[in-house]
Structure 1
């Protein structure tokens, strides 16, 4: 499966911020064969937010533009107004996403996962390191929507990926895995995912350049390049 991560906390030309811009890029991703989205709603000033109004508007716009796509959002603790406010915001959504990503390196990750599960929202468990994987495996958690193995903007991440996957396997965690990187690790992680039968994602949240290093003008060019890598490996996009 290939997921389109349209904006994150990125900024600049081509990065969708408003509900209308997110919806337009969602429609493009759909036309390219992708059926899964990950977006970060923004407020009127362009800052990331989990507040009900902007979040509901972003999700509703994406669903209207691409009704057969699943829509997920990030819940990072850096998003205003922070951990306590985050829990209040999540509980107040009226147009909830299909799933949220929750980072295991954040102290209140179990509480956020429990709240969203009670609300009927799926969870992508974000694991950035072997320490995160150890914490995840030690928690008494039901099966998650998927596990995100997330690698930083670094050139050599294969050893950490191997450690994480080994720990998950030893613990008997059988959830689907989505492997992705950031910056220089984005395309190597995507290629490895395609070769090893894992899911991955691409978009301005993760990188702003194409596989050959040239700048990407829009999400469409990033998604097109990723889709070709998946097809060349015989992998489905949906």
Structure 2
């Protein structure tokens, strides 16, 4: 079971006082999250104005800083359309990345996702399949690339724990019927983040936590930063072991 720190996601600058935006903030946060127990780091690169960006001139310097600071820690970058809404331009930007992360997440419900996944696989980047719905799971199965992905991110976005877990079960059913044996990571968001994490831990799945997923602890108190969230998750994982 691995714990991934998801540092910033698509949250706007200022959504939390400790949300990392600049390269220096992201690198410092990644270092602190790993020290708190994270095995990997997932990042949405940001431009000088704090907006998500897949531009090579944003991605490359950030990746080099992360590698210099944390050479043995796998780093994942997003390819979400929240960072580049035009699927054609997104493909072009990813194609022009001169420095490549260890892995990249691709949301399979988004237009152009299979093409981006194939591009990354051809470039020998480990690709995580972001699966939000059973239909997205069917896209994964039908893509012809299922065996080439490194992990499935089961990502229910429902706002209640009951609905989120029901959706996750429906996703798993599609993957199971297809005989897809890739590692799976299960996570929720905001109100469902902690109960879904506990469900994932109990099932022995990979998990993630960070300010991308929640700004609060399991008691609904504001947290200090990503490292605090990772420390809380690490404690819950240890208690369940």
* TM norm structure 1: 0.95
Counterpart position of 1:14: 18
Q: Give me the whole-angstrom Cα distance separating, in 1, the residues matched to 2:143 and 2:67.
A: 33
Task: Extract unaligned runs of 5+ from structure 1.
Answer: none
Q: Give me the whole-angstrom Cα distance separating, in 2, the residues matched to 1:86 and 1:167.
A: 28
Counting matched residue pairs gives 234
> What is the 5 A alignment of 1:154-173?
154-155=159-160, 156=162, 157-173=164-180
User: For 1:233, which of 229, 236, 240 is the aligned residue?
Assistant: 240
Counterpart position of 1:3: 4
Cα RMSD (Å) = 1.2
* TM norm structure 2: 0.94
Task: Extract unaligned runs of 5+ from structure 2.
Answer: none
Counterpart position of 2:137: 133
> Does the 8 Å CA contact 1:143/1:175 hold for their aligned counterparts?
no
Q: Give me the whole-angstrom Cα distance separating, in 2, the residues matched to 1:17 and 1:227.
A: 24
Write out the 4+ residue segments of structure 1 that deviate beyond 4 Å after TM superposition: none
Within the alignment, does 1:44 sit opposite 2:51 as a pair?
A: no
User: For 1:53, which of 32, 41, 57 is the aligned residue?
Assistant: 57
> Does the 8 Å CA contact 1:41/1:55 hold for their aligned counterparts?
yes
3-state SS of 1:106 partner: coil
> Does the 8 Å CA contact 2:87/2:112 hold for their aligned counterparts?
yes
Q: Give me the whole-angstrom Cα distance separating, in 2, the residues matched to 1:34 and 1:73.
A: 16
Q: Give me the whole-angstrom Cα distance separating, in 1, the residues matched to 2:195 and 2:99.
A: 35
> What is the 5 A alignment of 1:1-238?
1-10=2-11, 11-12=13-14, 13-80=17-84, 82-141=86-145, 142-155=147-160, 156=162, 157-234=164-241
* Shift of residue 153, structure 1, vs aligned partner: 4.7
3-state SS of 2:46 partner: coil
3-state SS of 1:206 partner: coil
Deviations, residues 163-219 of structure 1 (Å, cap 9, x unaligned): 111111110100000001111111111111100000010101111001110011211
